A = this chain, B = another copy of it.
């Protein structure tokens, strides 16, 4: 990619998006930044104050993750202004390549009507895989901050063996925890065993929860219910990494005096530069597959 110099418009979003603009410029591309006025960029990024400049054709317009802020407005925490996503799409020239995160059905319709080629980078498997790294690291950092003990020597339960569960189990083991992982599929159970963790079917956890010092949930459905929370040690810390509706009954946790934290969107919080780098790589992959040329 780096040998082909391209033109990008980076529009809105948080620190990740700002770092993304810089990283694209580091690779030698021409980068225009919109709706990011609060961020101080290096000389290599051209700040654009006029959204109307979006009418110029570029190789790729990059909308933020998530693309929507409040209701129908663009997500622009680093801007002083607000923009309706609808209005933006009317500016793009026909055939413009646009990428965005968490595009919904309405947005794809808008794109269709405007003759825009829209791609949701959240749908790329490699994007989710790479983001599991800052998610797992951030979860571990959080546990280190919250606990008055080392992770070393703890009994830890990881609920679910998806992307984040896989990396969490690996990191925790390396840091000296005794790690048990649960899953529902026989093949996942076989992998958990192959990778050397203690293995348990998720349906079998009742009555086993009293030994853990730390529990990470990655399953987006009610797993740590009130009766299960009641089983826990008083000093046990629960960290929920599952997207909505989450997996912990926080009301019950509060009543029972169980410390439970719901931590979402970790990559942007703990490692915005890395998050920007992952977006960059994913966008490169999309452009390579789409054969994008100015």
Query: How many Å lie between the Cα of A144 and that of B140 in the bound state?
Result: 9
Residues of chain B contacted by A195 (CB below 8 angstroms): 170
Cα–Cα distance between A270 and B149 once the two chains are bound (Å): 7
Instruction: Map CB proximity to B onto A165-177 as digits: 1 under 8 Å, 0 otherwise.
Output: 0010011011110
Total interface residues in chain A, CB < 8 Å: 47
Tell me the nearest residue of chain B to A270, going by C-beta: B144
Interface residues of A in 139-169 (CB under 8 A from B): 140-141, 144-145, 147-153, 167
A145 / chain B contacts, CB cutoff of 8 Å: 141, 145
A189 within 8 A of B: yes
- The interface-forming segment of A103-111, A126-134, A202-210 is A126-134
**Does A4 make an interface contact (CB < 8 A)?**
no
Chain B residues with Cβ below 8 Å from A175 are 137, 171, 174
Chain B residues closer than 8 Å to A133, beta-carbon distance: 150, 152, 176, 194
Q: Within 8 Å of chain B (Cβ to Cβ): is A190?
A: yes
Q: Evaluate contact between A137 and B151: CB separation under 8 angstroms.
A: yes
Binding site for B on A (CB under 8 A): 15, 19, 124-126, 129-130, 132-134, 137-138, 140-141, 144-145, 147-153, 167, 170-171, 173-176, 185-187, 189-191, 193-196, 270-274, 277, 285
Show 27 A/B contacts (Cβ-Cβ < 8 Å), sorted by A: A19-B148, A124-B186, A125-B187, A130-B190, A132-B194, A133-B176, A133-B194, A137-B150, A137-B175, A140-B144, A141-B145, A144-B144, A148-B271, A148-B272, A148-B274, A149-B271, A149-B277, A150-B270, A150-B274, A152-B194, A153-B193, A153-B274, A167-B194, A170-B195, A171-B174, A171-B175, A176-B194
